[in-house]
Amino acid sequence: MKSTRGVCFFLFVIPLVASPPLRAEASTRNEEIETCLSCHGEKDASLTLPSGEKQSLYVQRDVFEKSVHGARQGCTGCHPAQAEVPHPELKARDKAAFVAGFKDLCKTCHFENYTKALDGVHYQILTKGGSAPFCVDCHGAHDIASPTVPRTRVSETCGTCHGDMAETYAKSVHGLALAAGNPDVPVCTDCHHAHDIADPRTKDWRLTTIDLCAKCHTNKTMMGKYGLSTNVLASYLSDFHGMSAKLAASGEKPKIITALCIDCHGTHDITKAKDGSSQVLKANLQKTCTKCHAGASKNFPAAWLSHYEPSMKRAPLVWAVGVFYKIFIPFIIGGLCLQILLHLWRVLVNR
């Protein structure tokens, strides 16, 4: 290590040693960048760590200038500890420790996202000693770009590690629309968030997916563009599956596994309802129901109303019963009230 350090100093520091320690924070941003890059802008600037591992110290000027920070931030906003040259003695013994030393650099300015990330699944894995991404793994360091421009960037970012999900999603009704430039469909982070990602396998989170789907699928202006029904939530909630999901969400009953939107439609593989491979296409529906209703017959789905309200055309019997009750019940109650009133009147008259 000593020797490499010696080389660095020989190359860059000699002219500076005579002057008083350079206080980068006192100079303007541009001067600061020029100063830092006078050493770190050299392609072969590097360091050999005590472990023997070689670490490049090269920062590409054009890449940094094009990044989101390049236009207004200097170097010391992220590297306050290296504002003085020569820098304080490096404590890292190996590459892992060297990289870990940069973990909290973003916290000063992006405190909110930082604290959110501490609540996410990735961080939980990190604290258990596993490998999972933190800021730099998703965003980069000197080459940070706007993470949602274009919007397909989001699934590309997550897809670098979750390739199978990203591939499945790309073929779904939402993913295909996204690739075609549709701004309305959900990307990974609309459903999972980017920083405070919840564990998607818990029952509690799964129950929240109803509201997630409903947020868009009950939006009349949005769904109007695609000619899709916004009655899907109301019809679901008035159905046995939706009713028990509501009960489970309010914690009134022990949580049973009822059918959520995602159990019938899928998650990353949602297709148009009329698509040949759709899990909710009439021809495939029996298979979807058998996931939970073991031994459901071919006619089993037919006994169920899907998202439809009963009508004269669809489920006429259910519709007729509904209409009958709508007329019959007010009739009975009205009759009862009338009878009581007549009774009272007679009592009063006969007194």
**What does residue 99 show for φ and ψ, rounded to 5 degrees?**
-65, -40
Residues 124-163, one symbol each (x = binds ligand HEC by CB under 6 A, - = not), give -x-----xxxxxxxxx-xx-x-xxx-----xx-xxxxxx-
The reply on whether position 304 binds ligand HEC by CB under 6 A is yes
Q: Residue 158 contacts by C-beta under 8 Å, 6 or more apart in sequence? A: 165, 166, 188, 189
| CA pair distance 17, 37, nearest whole angstrom | 17
* Nearest alpha-carbon partner for 207 in 255, 254, 265, 174: 255
Sole binder of ligand HEC in the list 42, 60, 95, 114 (CB under 6 A) = 114
| CA pair distance 89, 99, nearest whole angstrom | 16
Judged by CB under 6 A, the number of residues near ligand HEC is: 136
Amino acid, single-letter form, for residue 87: H
- 88 C-beta neighbours (distance < 10 Å), count: 9
Residue 183 CB, shortest distance to ligand HEC, in Å, is 9
Q: In the chain, what is the straight-line distance between the N-terminal and C-terminal CA atoms, in Å?
A: 115
The reply on whether position 105 binds ligand HEC by CB under 6 A is yes
The reply on whether position 178 binds ligand HEC by CB under 6 A is no
* Nearest alpha-carbon partner for 108 in 77, 81, 137: 77
The reply on whether position 191 binds ligand HEC by CB under 6 A is yes
Residues from 33 through 62 that contact ligand HEC (CB under 6 A): 33, 35-40, 47, 57, 59
| Contact yes or no for 140/64 (Cβ under 8 A) | no
Residue 4 CB, shortest distance to ligand HEC, in Å, is 8
Sole binder of ligand HEC in the list 121, 179, 207, 249 (CB under 6 A) = 121
The reply on whether position 171 binds ligand HEC by CB under 6 A is no
The reply on whether position 315 binds ligand HEC by CB under 6 A is no
| Contact yes or no for 141/102 (Cβ under 8 A) | yes
Based on CB atoms, which residue is closest to ligand HEC, 71 or 348? 71
The reply on whether position 285 binds ligand HEC by CB under 6 A is yes
Based on CB atoms, which residue is closest to ligand HEC, 144 or 315? 144
Sole binder of ligand HEC in the list 292, 320, 321, 341 (CB under 6 A) = 292
